[in-house]
């Protein structure tokens, strides 16, 4: 699957040249996405890393899946894209931090504060992960600027991720593609056993 060069940090596991691709469409405020993200970190990342069983065989691409029925979904995905710009190697650690603290960005907790305050909180969380010296850079990217309806510095990247999902018919999170086709059998409840069996059937070691 395609990935524009500026979004290379979204390759969260494996080598970018690996022949097989696992595209994972996740929303930071989706509990099921959080479960799958933890499985990726605990099960798949070691398998696809250098020296792992599937080293050089499979790459995992994170696909930002904005769910507009959650008002904060846009803001948390903007923050991840800002971190990808400021500290590319920290995109996945920041994503994991977002998933672990996703409850703070659910509908009710964010209903009593402004979007500007939400973005400021996200920049602070980014600082906790990538260093407080870079938190200001993240906040600057998230600040609205330009025309009254012009978005912010990562709006173009956000548009790309949304258009990519739409043109590929991705509607819900999590959705997982294996080599470009939806793998409906993959579940957020999968653990090491299920993933091991899936990879054994799909990848020649």
What pLDDT does 184 receive? 96
Question: What is the tens place of the pLDDT at every residue in 43-54?
Answer: 999 999 999 999
CA distance 40 to 96: 10
Record the tokens describing residue 72, joined without a space: 């904060």
What pLDDT does 10 receive? 98
- Specify the fold of 5-202: Glutaredoxin (3.40.30)
Mean pLDDT of 9-17: 96
Boundaries of every domain in the chain: 5-202
- ∠ CA 183-13-152, rounded to 5°: 90
DSSP string, 110-150: HTTS-HHHHHHHHHHHHHHHH-HHHHHHHHHHHS--SSTT-
What pLDDT does 135 receive? 96
What pLDDT does 204 receive? 87
CA distance 155 to 185: 33
Question: What is the tens place of the pLDDT at every residue in 93-129?
Answer: 999 999 999 999 999 999 999 999 999 999 999 999 9
CA distance 85 to 35: 25
Taking Cα atoms as reference points, which of 125, 90, 74 lies closest to residue 104?
125
Mean pLDDT of 165-191: 96
CA distance 173 to 74: 14
| Residue 67 in this model has a pLDDT that exceeds 70 | yes
């Amino acid at each position: 699957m395609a990935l524009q060069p500026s979004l290379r940090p979204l390759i969260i596991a494996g080598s970018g040249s690996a022949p097989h691709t696992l595209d994972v469409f996740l929303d930071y405020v989706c509990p099921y996405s959080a479960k799958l993200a933890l499985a990726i970190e605990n099960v798949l990342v070691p398998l696809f890393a250098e020296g792992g069983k599937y080293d050089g065989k499979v790459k995992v691409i994170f696909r930002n899946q904005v769910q507009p029925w959650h008002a904060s979904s846009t803001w948390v995905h903007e923050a991840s894209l800002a971190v990808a710009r400021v500290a590319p190697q920290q995109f996945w650690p920041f994503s994991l931090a977002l998933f672990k603290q996703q409850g703070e960005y659910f509908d009710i907790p964010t209903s009593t504060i402004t979007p500007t305050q939400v973005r400021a909180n996200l920049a602070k969380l980014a600082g906790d992960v990538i260093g407080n010296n870079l938190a200001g850079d993240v906040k600057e990217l998230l600040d609205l600027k330009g025309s009254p309806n012009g978005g912010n510095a990562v709006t173009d990247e956000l548009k790309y991720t949304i258009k990519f999902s739409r043109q590929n018919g991705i509607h819900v999170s999590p959705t997982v593609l294996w080599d470009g086709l939806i793998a409906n059998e993959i579940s957020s409840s999968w653990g090491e056993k299920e993933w091991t069996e899936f990879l054994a059937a799909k990848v020649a070691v």
